[in-house]
Amino acid sequence: MAEFLFYFLSIVAVAAGAGVVLSRSPMMSIIALLATFFCLAVIYLLAGFQFLAAAQVLVYAGAILVLFLFVIMLLNLGDTRGQFRLQDALLSGKTRLGLAVAAALGLVGAVAARRAPLGEHDAALHAEGIDDLTDVATALFGRYSLPFEVVSLLLLATMVAVLALAKRQRGPASQRPPEASATALAAPPPTPAPPPALPDPVASKEEVTS
Amino acid sequence: MPDVLVWLMKAGAIFGILLGTAAYLTLAERKVSAWIQYRYGPNRVGPWGLFQPFADLIKFIFKEEVAPAGANPLMFRLAPFLSAIPAMLTVAVIPFGPEVRIGEVATNLSIVDLDVGALYLLAFSGLAVYGPILGGWASNSKYSLLGGLRASAQMVSYELTLILCLLAVVTLSGTLDLREIVTSQAERGVWNVFVQPVAFVLFVVATFAETNRHPFDFAECEPELVGGFHTEYSAMRFALFFLGEYCAMIVMAGLTTTLFLGGFGIPFVEDPHWVLGFLAFMTKTAMFLFLFLWVRWTLPRFRFDQLMGLGWKVFLPVALVNLFLTGAVVSLLG
């Protein structure tokens, strides 16, 4: 039963992962990614990692993907149908590079899986969960507390960098005299962002039919 | 009796309780609103209108499903389920009562007792945001889109407060298992609401925002957005959105009871019979459900910027300070 579930979920996860890349509409990509995260979470559960599964759903499906959804809705990213031809996309250099990287990673994964010691399958242990919260917490905030803090700093730095880039693209601070740039941060941006435009499934449908 | 059978019966019973409570909550909503506004409310279907939920259900089933032209067909159908299913799944970890002993069978009155129960609940209640946002987007209507955006923005914002308040309780109890949080309150002899009054108030207010209820129901505020994210929905799909909202309310009320009011514990009674424990849990939960209704028909609606300001500038800092102080006190007193 568990083995069948594992293979079933793996196939669904891989198929959904392919769907993320191949789908023409970003919304469908999001839903496919959601499915992938879910399958992964259940696979973690099957392996006995309850905390990992809950964290996977909480962080990836509940927070990060919602952010993606926001961005796609606010930028009104439409259907990419008609913008690419599959043959062109498959033959481009970027695709070849991507395929090569994927093949290399797959090889590494396969080798790692071969060399990894296979644990004894203990159903009772797995049902209770083998990632005991106390152990996770002690490791995370004890032995690995410094890397943990560094990672949070990294995230903060990324956020600041994104803000800086977004500011520069609008270009208020650099064009002003230095004494004004300090107040520019507090002032509202000179050109307010356009209101969220409606998604227009009608338009994309007409494209299909025409 | 085999374990699987016991478990299936338990799951069936708890889902039955959830769906039954949700159905009668719709009636209670109308009865309470009528009572507050000095009216009768529904009183034609059965005595005191008791069969009204069934009449509503039949009406929903037989109504015509209408989808607006240009709606994204897949997402439009998917969204109501994405709203209802996570809300129903969260009930799995709520401990409804103490250990039940009938004959030789002994089992805990909750579908599953997870080590990471609180995390599981947060994870799935966080997924509830997909229903409104996808429904609003797929409807191809400006009111729906604005409603969906508002719903998701407020749910994401208030989830932070919810998590931080829950963490304060978790810090006190030292576990994420909801059943152990209940027993730890019984062992301490005092409910968490008295130990963590700040977290309690923030948590209750945040549940109102998280479930899109009055006075924070911007996702569907009629004067501005017609019906918000479900403007374009009709028949069973609309009913599913409603079911999701009511199930979320019940789960949130149950969670508040579990975290702050001692769950199925009864004050000054040690190890009560499981029927009494279950009744105590349901009574406390019903109290919070009544609070949801009472507030809806009493308080005026906020403004959206006030809601966001309250969430990010007041609740979040206060919850953070509260969590910090809790952690400090717990680590100092050992």
Residue A178: the pLDDT is 47
The tens digit of pLDDT for each residue in A14-44 reads 999 988 888 878 888 888 998 999 899 888 8
Using a CB-CB cut-off of 8 Å, the residues of chain B touching A57 are: 123-124, 126-127
Residue B87 within any structural domain of the chain: yes
Residue B320 within any structural domain of the chain: yes
Residue A190: the pLDDT is 45
Band of residue A209 on the pLDDT scale cut at 50, 70, 90: very low
User: What CA–CA distance (Å, rounded) separates B208 from B109?
Assistant: 27
Residue A83: the pLDDT is 62
The tens digit of pLDDT for each residue in A135-168 reads 778 888 888 888 888 988 998 998 898 888 888 7
Residue A201: the pLDDT is 45
Domain count, chain A: 3
B272: helix, strand or coil: coil
Residue B201: the pLDDT is 92
Residue A187 within any structural domain of the chain: no
B281's tokens: 């849990």
The answer to which of B35-44, B108-117, B249-258 has the lowest mean pLDDT is: B108-117
Residue B306, pLDDT > 80, answer yes
Using a CB-CB cut-off of 8 Å, the residues of chain A touching B133 are: 66, 69, 73
Establish if A206 touches chain B: CB-CB under 8 angstroms: no
B169's tokens: 């309780």
Which range of A79-83, A112-116, B146-150, B160-164 scores highest in mean pLDDT? It is B160-164
Cβ pair B152:A196 closer than 8 A? no
Cβ pair A73:B145 closer than 8 A? yes
Q: What is the CATH number of the domain that holds A44?
A: 1.20.120.1200
> Same domain for A71 and A4?
yes
Residue A5 within any structural domain of the chain: yes
> Same domain for A79 and A137?
no
B97: helix, strand or coil: strand
Band of residue B250 on the pLDDT scale cut at 50, 70, 90: very high
> Same domain for A9 and A45?
yes
Residue B210, pLDDT > 70, answer yes
Residue B318: the pLDDT is 93
Residue A188: the pLDDT is 44
State pTM to two decimals.
Answer: 0.79
Residue B226: the pLDDT is 72
Packing angle of the helix pair A65-75, A26-46 (nearest 10 deg) = 180
> Same domain for A144 and A155?
yes
Residue A191: the pLDDT is 47
Residue B289 within any structural domain of the chain: yes
Domain assignment of residue B175, given as a range: 63-333
> Same domain for A100 and A142?
no
The tens digit of pLDDT for each residue in B68-90 reads 887 777 888 888 888 888 888 88
Q: Once rounded to an integer, what is the mean pLDDT over residues A179-204?
A: 45
Residue A123: the pLDDT is 57
The answer to which of B14-23, B28-37, B185-194, B264-273 has the lowest mean pLDDT is: B264-273
Name the DSSP class of B218: G
Which of A55, A63, A73 is closest, CB to CB, to B119? A55
Packing angle of the helix pair B235-260, B3-36 (nearest 10 deg) = 100
Domain assignment of residue A56, given as a range: 1-83
Chain B interface, Cβ < 8 Å to A: 69-72, 74-75, 78, 114-116, 119-120, 122-124, 126-127, 129-130, 133-134, 137-138, 140, 142, 145, 149, 152, 156, 159, 176
Which of B70, B123, B124 is closest, CB to CB, to A201? B70
Could you count the other beta carbons within 10 Å of the beta carbon of residue A110?
10
Residue A36: the pLDDT is 92
Cβ pair B124:A57 closer than 8 A? yes
Q: Once rounded to an integer, what is the mean pLDDT over residues A68-76?
A: 77
Residue B138, pLDDT > 50, answer yes
Interface probe, candidates A28, A58, A71, chain B, greatest B C-beta count within 10 A: A58
Nearest-CA distance A162 → chain B (Å): 20
Using a CB-CB cut-off of 8 Å, the residues of chain B touching A50 are: 114-116
Q: Does residue B145 contact residue A199 with C-beta atoms inside 8 Å? A: yes
> Same domain for A77 and A6?
yes
User: What CA–CA distance (Å, rounded) separates B75 from B131?
Assistant: 10
Cβ pair B156:A34 closer than 8 A? no
Band of residue A189 on the pLDDT scale cut at 50, 70, 90: very low
User: What CA–CA distance (Å, rounded) separates B8 from A143?
Assistant: 42
Residue A130: the pLDDT is 63
Nearest-CA distance B140 → chain A (Å): 7
Nearest-CA distance A27 → chain B (Å): 9
Residue A97, pLDDT > 50, answer yes
Cβ pair A58:B78 closer than 8 A? no
Which one has a higher pLDDT value, A185 or B204?
B204
Residue A206: the pLDDT is 42
Which of B74, B116, B137 is closest, CB to CB, to A73? B137
The answer to which of A56-60, B112-116, B120-124 has the lowest mean pLDDT is: B112-116
The answer to which of A77-81, A151-155, A196-200, B125-129 has the lowest mean pLDDT is: A196-200
Report chain B's mean pLDDT, rounded to a whole number: 85
| Whole-Å CA distances, B128 to B123, B134, B156, B232, B245 | 9, 11, 10, 19, 9
Residue A176 within any structural domain of the chain: no
Residue B320, pLDDT > 90, answer yes
Could you count the other beta carbons within 10 Å of the beta carbon of residue B304?
16
Domain count, chain B: 1
Establish if A62 touches chain B: CB-CB under 8 angstroms: yes
Residue A23: the pLDDT is 81
Using a CB-CB cut-off of 8 Å, the residues of chain B touching A196 are: 145, 149
Cβ pair B115:A129 closer than 8 A? yes
Interface subset of A 122-151, CB within 8 angstroms of B: 128-129, 132-133
B256's tokens: 């508040």
Packing angle of the helix pair B117-127, B178-188 (nearest 10 deg) = 130
| Whole-Å CA distances, A203 to A82, A210, B70 | 13, 11, 8
Q: Once rounded to an integer, what is the mean pLDDT over residues B217-239?
A: 76
Nearest-CA distance B315 → chain A (Å): 19
Residue type (1 letter), A19:
G
> Same domain for A25 and A35?
yes
Alpha helices for A23-144 (secondary structure H): 26-46, 50-55, 65-75, 86-91, 93-115, 123-128, 133-138
Residue B24 within any structural domain of the chain: no
The answer to which of A170-174, B184-188, B192-196 has the lowest mean pLDDT is: A170-174
Residue A85: the pLDDT is 64
Residue A127 within any structural domain of the chain: no
Residue A174, pLDDT > 60, answer no
Residue A122, pLDDT > 60, answer no
> Same domain for A67 and A89?
no
Residue A188 within any structural domain of the chain: no
The tens digit of pLDDT for each residue in B272-298 reads 788 888 888 899 999 999 999 898 888
> Same domain for A60 and A14?
yes
> Same domain for A16 and A31?
yes
The answer to which of B1-10, B90-99, B224-233, B292-301 has the lowest mean pLDDT is: B224-233
Which residues lie closer than 8 Å to A136 by C-beta, 6 or more apart?
Answer: A51
Using a CB-CB cut-off of 8 Å, the residues of chain A touching B149 are: 70, 73, 196
Residue A205, pLDDT > 80, answer no
Residue A6: the pLDDT is 86
Which one has a higher pLDDT value, B216 or B254?
B254
